[in-house]
Amino acid sequence: MAAPAGRQITTGLESIGLERADLIRAFRTIYTSRKIDDREILLKRQQKIYFQISAAGHEAIQTAAGMTMRPGVDWFYPYYRDRALCLALGVTPLEMLLQAVGSAEDPASGGRQMPTHWSSPQLNIVTTSSTTGTQFLPAVGCAHACRYLSPDRVEVTLVCGGDGHTSEGEFWEAINASCLEKLAIVFLIEDNHYAISTSVDLQTPGGKISKLVESFPGLLVQEVDGTDFVESYRAMKKAVEYCREGQGPALVHAHVIRPYSHSLSDDERLYKTEAEREAERKRDPFRRYPEWLVEEGIATEAELEAIRQEVDLEIQEATEKALKARPPDPASAPLYVYSPDVDPTSSDFQTEPQPSGAPITMVDAINRTLHDEMERNERIVVFGEDVADCSHEENLKEVKGKGGVFKATLGLQRRFGSKRCFNSPLAEAAIVGRATGMATRGMKPVVEIQFFDYIWPAMMQFRDEMANIRWRSFNGFKCPAVVRAAIGGYLTGGSIYHSQSGESMFTHIPGIRVVMPSNAQDAVGLLRTAIRCDDPVLFLEHKKLYRETYNRAPYPGPDYMIPFGKARVVKQGRRLTIVTYGALVQKSLLAATNLEQQREDWSVEVIDLRSLSPYDWETIAESVRKTSRALVVHEDNRSWGYGGEIAARIADELFEFLDAPVGRVGALDTYVGYSPVLEDAILPQVEDVETEARRLLLF
């Protein structure tokens, strides 16, 4: 297409698919992005909004990225500077300003997230968190799910971050996983040379992330001046095409500038020299790009000025509407912590057992449930460390198969194939993060953390991604993943790193369901509910209970479920209520039996919570009103443990019914020792439960 002055589009532009209309549209996006930043800065200084962080200096590469991809088809994991990207994808200035004022009408979060925390189910812009680097792993999971769900329509996933983000371990785990799987994902690193005030040479050896990653097999790496729109478009187009052709992942390292401070809470003059700031101003795409358009005869200054006036008017009108928009209703705060549509505590998840066959162990019951559910739902995938029968499917005919260190996943790969059951790298954050992205995209990942003691590298993924996706997107996105983890001690020799508990760390996180069965039948019912519900679930499996003889049961059938939040009274009693779960259920039963043999008038009720979040307060309260005494027993450390909340609530709400203090039994406030003598002294035993129960009964 000819330029207005009769000159042709600059040589090479048409070859990469850029026409005059595209170049003008890019100008509009770049200008709009900067002017929204400026308007938000003004509003913040007028105390009409509460936070501001800008995309200034990043607009050219972001605009190019948006123009080379397909909103509503491809998938996007932007970060908090990606204003121009989201404008290019279709987010409007009004929508951005509604978020800035914290309005209930903010379509991204309903007033729950800071400005520039993007979310649009219609455009496939996945809800953004503030944490640096946690977006990379869910993006990898999304890309993996795209390949599974849409094999004939190659969907490319774009994930963005700054130079500082690449210092996080999750970035490297994401690169590693994407290369191993040859996924269609573009990593866009917008390098403005500063992570707040820390310069890139102190973040990245050699100061170039592209140099560090160039040896990853199959990874296309491109370095580009991210302030040059045309070069940025060329680089992004090549990266997207590389991914769409199925060649593997790509990384675009875009050198940009940050002419504004990190945010309005920061003042870059405190750490940037004037020379640095002047050099950035000379590279600013907000100035350079329109100058280039005029110099090349692609647009006249009058045409550009007309666009500026249109955009200024649009932003002014959007600002006026946003400032009049209604704030959130305080009563809406609890909405969407969990699914509003699927309630796993309801009677819909209560079915009667249909037992068949001989009693089986808890681990065999878990294995059979996984087989049945994978047969029922083709979107279920199982992965984790050592969960496959064999790393290479072609060798299955020669080996018996691993199937997990406890055999919980034995035979799944053999039956359902390596696409649905596979080994992951030894990287817990990657396991949980990829599961998050897969679940958000529409799959049902059931992943395994081999030992609970090693779950902590995944804590950011649990707390800052998986748990709050639904809430922070105002029900726009969800994450119905299941994370299985072997937990607990009482297996001689487990020591510090194979024996710990810590469930209270997760029951404290809104948005995650936490359950822990104590027997084979409950394991089946709770695991099936976990898989069929619509929320993230942490499914804790006590290692000691995997192969016990006393907790075996016939398989209760392929549709047996137990609602969450429904405890089981495993023993009726009249004088004392013991509230417990996991391995302490059996120990509490033994303690109760011993006590009742000592005195005829001692009668102890034992409640197995089964579900820790939510928990069954009604059953606890009914029992304590009857017995007038309560003892909370758990394996975790006594101080700051799960039992403290139950004990406090009993004392608070049932005080008038109590004839004795609320007792607690837990592990010593230390770590589990290797020596059996130490382990027995540290973890609660039958005698500990009996001693404390006796004290309460005699009170």
Set 498, 508, 542, 634: catalytic member:
498
Q: What angle do CA 266, 66, 43 make, to 5 degrees?
A: 35
Length of the chain: 699
pLDDT band at 41 (very low <50, low <70, confident <90, very high): very high
Look up residue 111 and give its two tokens: 């007033």
Percentage of the chain lying above the pLDDT 70 cut: 98
Q: What is the mean pLDDT of residues 317-325?
A: 98
Do 158 and 188 meet the contact criterion of CB atoms below 8 Å apart? yes
SS3 content of the chain, % helix, strand, coil (to 5): 45, 15, 40
Residues 6+ apart with CB under 8 A from 49: 40, 43, 100, 101, 102, 115
103 phi-psi bin (left φ>0, alpha ψ -120 to 50, beta other): beta
pLDDT at 165 over 60: yes
pLDDT in tens, 168-199: 999 999 999 999 999 999 999 999 999 999 99
533: which residues sit within 8 A by CB, 6+ positions away?
339, 342, 344, 349, 480, 513, 564
Q: Where are the beta strands (DSSP E) in 3-97?
A: 75-77
Helix, strand, or coil here: 250?
Answer: strand
Q: What is the DSSP string of 334-377?
A: TTTSS-SS--TTSGGG------EEEEE-HHHHHHHHHHHHHHH-
Least confident among 50-64, 70-84, 263-277 = 263-277
d(CA 67, CA 89): 7
Q: What angle do CA 132, 136, 140 make, to 5 degrees?
A: 165
Confidence class for position 15, pLDDT limits 50, 70, 90: confident
> Do 568-698 and 347-555 have the same topology in CATH?
yes
| Residue 699 near residue 676 (C-beta atoms within 8 A) | no
Q: Is residue 97 a contact partner of residue 36, using CB atoms and an 8 Å limit?
A: yes
**Does 7 have pLDDT greater than 80?**
no
Mean pLDDT within 77-87: 97
User: What CATH class is the domain 347-555?
Assistant: alpha beta
Instruction: Please compute the mean of the pLDDT values over residues 595-615 and round it to a whole number.
Output: 97
Whether 498 is a known active-site residue: answer: yes
Q: What is the structure's pLDDT at 4?
A: 42
**Inter-residue contact 174 to 137 (CB < 8 Å):** yes
For the chain, give every domain's residue range. Answer: 14-320, 347-555, 568-698
Q: What is the pLDDT of residues 674-697, one digit of tens each?
A: 999 999 999 999 999 999 999 999
CATH of span 14-320: 3.40.50.970
Largest CA distance in the chain: 105
Radius of gyration of the chain (CA): 29
Cβ–Cβ contacts within 10 Å for residue 383, how many?
Answer: 24
Q: Determine the pLDDT at residue 14.
A: 79
> Is the per-residue pLDDT at 673 higher than 80?
yes
Mean pLDDT of the chain: 96
pLDDT in tens, 422-472: 999 999 999 999 999 999 999 999 999 999 999 999 999 999 999 999 999
**Does CATH place domain 568-698 in 1.25.40.10?**
no
Reported as a pLDDT band with limits 50, 70 and 90, residue 531 is: very high
Question: Is pLDDT of 634 > 70?
Answer: yes
- Cα(171)–Cα(158) distance, rounded to whole angstroms? 14
User: What is the model's pLDDT at position 6?
Assistant: 40
pLDDT of 13 over the 90 cut:
no
The residue-averaged pLDDT of 82-99 equals 98
Q: Give the pLDDT mean for 621-650.
A: 96
Strands 513-515 and 421-423: unpaired
Record the tokens describing residue 440, joined without a space: 């958000």
The pLDDT value recorded for residue 351 is: 97
- What is the strand order of the sheet 185-191 is part of? 75-77, 157-162, 185-191, 250-255, 220-225
The predicted pLDDT at position 11 comes to 52
Angle 201-195-203 from CA coordinates, rounded to 5°: 30
Give per-residue pLDDT as tens, 196-247: 999 999 999 999 999 999 999 999 999 999 999 999 999 999 999 999 999 9
Whole-number Å distance between alpha carbons of 160 and 122 = 19
pLDDT in tens, 485-496: 999 999 999 999
pLDDT interval class at 281 (50, 70, 90): very high
Residues 129-157: b if buried by 16+ CB within 10 A, e if exposed: bebbbbbbbbbbbbbbbbbbeeeeeebbb
Q: Which helix (H) or strand (E) element contains residue 514?
A: strand 513-515
The C-alpha atoms of residue 655 and residue 565 are separated, in whole angstroms, by 23
What per-residue confidence (pLDDT) applies to 10? 56
Token output for 412: 């799944």
